[in-house]
Amino acid sequence: MPETITIGEVKKLIEEEGISPSEIFGRDSLIDDPIVKGYVEEARKMASSGEYAHRKRTDEKFDESREEWEKEKKKKDEEIKELKVEGAKRDATELFSSKIKERKLDDQTSKFLKSKQGDFLPEDLENLDKEVDKFMDKAIEECKETAKIFGHKVEEKKDEPKGGGEPGEPGSSEDNELIPD
């Protein structure tokens, strides 16, 4: 009877000869082996979990950076807006003076407007002239109300125009004698 070779002897021979398992068995045989399958699956899980962990760390860092950038952007936008408003307030100072002269307001009303000028906060920076007019109109009304409360007489100039109007329009200082009332 032929001599039987044990598994130990086969392993020893393969190691001594330096033969790799892939030289003996085919690719499919090795892949189907449960032990090899386990190692491959474990390596695949490790690789995917490592990639997932890396992606998660990267995403968290990106989110932190984005939040920080948005905070900085918001802060800069607020600073820019504040500077624009301050510039508009500075420009409005000259507008107040010219409009007080243009409207020919009395001393009390002029002083009242100048005292209220610090409260002026423009909303529409593009239409600063209109904003100053609206603020002045409100302040003049407030001045009249305040004067009434303290018992001072308020002179109402009905024939003085608030702004530049056409001759003959209501609020114009020029009355056209040819047009009947």
The DSSP code sequence of 95-133 is: HHHHHHHHHT--HHHHHHHHHHGGG---S-GGGHHHHHH
pLDDT for position 178? 56
Q: pLDDT of 16-52, one tens digit each?
A: 988 888 888 888 888 888 888 888 888 888 888 888 8
Q: How far apart are CA 66 and CA 61, in angstroms?
A: 9
Q: Could you report the average pLDDT of every consecutive run of 10 residues in the chain (181 residues)?
A: 81 89 85 86 83 87 93 94 83 79 79 80 78 84 82 58 48 53 53
Reduce the DSSP state of residue 172 to 3 states and report it: coil
pLDDT for position 158? 46
pLDDT for position 34? 87
pLDDT for position 75? 95
pLDDT for position 177? 57
- The two structure tokens encoding residue 12: 């020893």
Element (H, E) at 64: helix 34-103
The CA R_g of the chain, rounded to the nearest whole Å, is 45
